[in-house]
Structure 1
Amino acid sequence: MSGSFGFLNLKKPPGLTSHDCVARLRRLLHLKRIGHGGTLDPMAEGVLPMAVGSATRLLSFLPTPKVYRAVIRLGLRTTTDDITGETLATAPTTDLTPEQVNEALQQFQGHIQQTPPAYSAIQVNGQRLYTLARQGKPVEVAPRWVDIEKLDLLAWNSSSAGWTDLAVEIHCGSGTYIRAIARDLGAALQTGGTLAQLRRTQSCGFQLAHSLSFDEIATQIEANTLVLISPPQALTHLPTITLPDALAQRWCWGQTLLLPELDLPAPPPNSDIVQVQNGQGQFLGISHHQNSSLIPKIVIAG
């Protein structure tokens, strides 16, 4: 492997938890310091960004927009809000029309409040909600604000079993539960709803088309051709400031630099966070830009 610091665009298979994926990648790379950039439910597949080595410190600076392709099953309500749960209720969907569904979908776009599923990784008093739910001790969680930029109906399939499957594409911010959208859409249409399939096609700037399966990663490791995605490649949404070597050393020591006094170009307006590199183009870390001052935030190289 070329270097042990950077990111991997993992194609998560269904059936594994995000933690399972971290553990498996640790075994493949023989490295302990690995983290992921956003939980995917075990039944889900698709993009799971992985940070290797010191790049784990940069996960919170990756872009937050996510894109999902999902199948929502109307006419079925389950304990987990997906098809892995036990059936709570069924209802006929034969009278539903695409016009009704599209109208209902409108209320799930924009800056909205969403109640997380009872089976989720959110912690309450140090315990995961899914642990409490499995113990028969479900906890009521307050709604949270989430951002859903776009929610499009792609396809419609009515089953002879009485339910209706909707293929949808969702563009959203972090913290959005697709299972909650399925549940709440079913409630709005008075049919019940649950999540039947989920694939994440974009996360943290990484695309499904460029993701690698575990088998592909293992093959590249064996051939010594695996190359990690560098921080500058993953952080293209952040402006870059290049420091001369002497100033770069001072910044790496934790010193605040005053840009006007040093005759350095200021970042674009409204750029609170910037990436910093030296004259040779080496990534040094992340800096806070405030009042024309460059304040070290995450120092990677020094």
Structure 2
Amino acid sequence: MNYINLNGFVLINKVPGFSTTNYSEKIKKIINNKLRLIYSREGLIGDLVEKVGHTGSLDPFASGVIVLAINDATKVIQFLSKQKRYIAEVLIGISTDTYDISGQIIKQQRYTKQELSKIVDLISSSLINFIGKVEQTPPPFSAKKIKGKRAYQLAREISQHNTTLLDEIKLKKHTVYIENITIINQYKDRLVLEVSCSEGTYIRSLVNDISNLIDIPLTLSFLVRTNSNNFEISQSYTLEEVKNSENLNFLLPLNVVLDNFSKVVIQDRYIFRVRNGHSFSKSSIIALNKNGLFSDKNIFTVMDKKRNHLAIAYSDNDINFKIKRVLMPY
């Protein structure tokens, strides 16, 4: 019997040099070690963490908030808000094969103070071209798969033999949505942007696309994700803080997150149907609230009068609701 609810989220403030997978493995190990101590000390019998997922990876060289889902919380990842926000530092005068400062330089140019000022103005005026729905090609050094192999693995293999063969790596374009790009600072040859966008947006590709449009070498020199799925970096914990915690207070319970979804409350006589995965209509609803902080567009948690979360539903018209995931099956 499990006396500790392990279903929830851990918000981690990632540091450069580690992958998101590294953090997933470390957090699983840390929590399980803490659980063993708690169970032993208090004479409890309980489960351990079996599954850890994430809502979107960060490049190893990047930092910022990553959202890790623990056990049953992995089942609602797909229903979370898809919004992301980044602070990106752009280096003017250099282009690399990875589109960031960690790669090999393929183009380099020095500029005077006056030239840099004009380039910043040129970048500023170009940003309008990248607002809204944008067709974007992932970087060749990315986690996208090509014939079952990660693009960065293939790129490294090719570059070891002939760097010009990087052109052989063909990644398909995909549509992303960029809500806003703002220049928030500039110092000499470095420009700082704030970008609000949908998941799947590569900031490295954005910088490279701007570079291609204005024909000026640019590369991403630093990246911080300040918001993921509407979770702020200020809510996150460092790995050291998690390690040093005496309990599991860093675990954000699944129900707390679901409480901040858009929601519908259904009549008692429809509970059985919902818990068996059947669709329902507006006539079954007692109340509806669309002010969800963490839920994706058109996603609702379905609740009974006692505020139990019964299921996740989808509706694009607030009239007909289709069950996407049962949370409390019979």
Cα distance in structure 2, aligned partners of 1:86 and 1:290: 46
Matched, 1:154 2:184: yes
SS at match of 2:286: coil
Matched, 1:142 2:152: no
Q: Is the 8 A contact 1:75 1:91 kept in 2?
A: yes
Aligned to 2:200: 175
The alignment of Structure 1 onto Structure 2 pairs a total of residues equal to: 292
Aligned to 1:161: none
1:26-83, CA deviations, whole angstroms, 9 ceiling, x for partnerless residues?
A: 1112212110001110011111111111110111111111110010111111121111
Cα distance in structure 2, aligned partners of 1:77 and 1:54: 43
Change beyond 3 A, Cα 1:290–1:191: closer
The normalised TM-score by structure 1 is 0.87
Aligned to 2:41: none
Q: Is the 8 A contact 1:83 1:195 kept in 2?
A: yes
The normalised TM-score by structure 2 is 0.80
Q: Is the 8 A contact 2:266 2:286 kept in 1?
A: no
Matches within 5 A, 1:74-113: 74-94=92-112, 95-97=115-117, 98-113=120-135
What displacement does 1:141 show?
Answer: 2.0
Cα distance in structure 2, aligned partners of 1:190 and 1:135: 29
Query: Aligned to 1:190, which of 196, 215, 221?
Result: 215
Mark the runs of 5 or more structure 2 residues left unpaired by the alignment: 33-48, 159-164, 291-296
What displacement does 1:259 show?
Answer: 4.7
Cα distance in structure 1, aligned partners of 2:214 and 2:314: 47
Aligned to 1:233: 257
Q: Is the 8 A contact 1:73 1:182 kept in 2?
A: no
Matched, 1:214 2:239: yes
Query: Aligned to 1:288, which of 304, 310, 314?
Result: 314
Change beyond 3 A, Cα 1:70–1:146: same
Q: Is the 8 A contact 1:69 1:199 kept in 2?
A: yes
Query: Aligned to 1:118, which of 132, 140, 149?
Result: 140
The aligned amino acid for 1:102 is: S
Q: Is the 8 A contact 2:96 2:107 kept in 1?
A: yes
Cα distance in structure 1, aligned partners of 2:255 and 2:289: 20
Change beyond 3 A, Cα 1:58–1:90: same
The aligned amino acid for 1:155 is: N
Change beyond 3 A, Cα 1:226–1:67: closer
Cα distance in structure 2, aligned partners of 1:172 and 1:242: 31
Query: Aligned to 1:255, which of 270, 274, 278?
Result: 278
Aligned to 2:293: none
Cα distance in structure 1, aligned partners of 2:13 and 2:225: 9
RMSD over aligned Cα atoms: 2.4
Moved beyond 6 Å, runs of 4+: none
Aligned-residue identity in percent: 27
SS at match of 2:201: coil
What displacement does 1:130 show?
Answer: 0.9
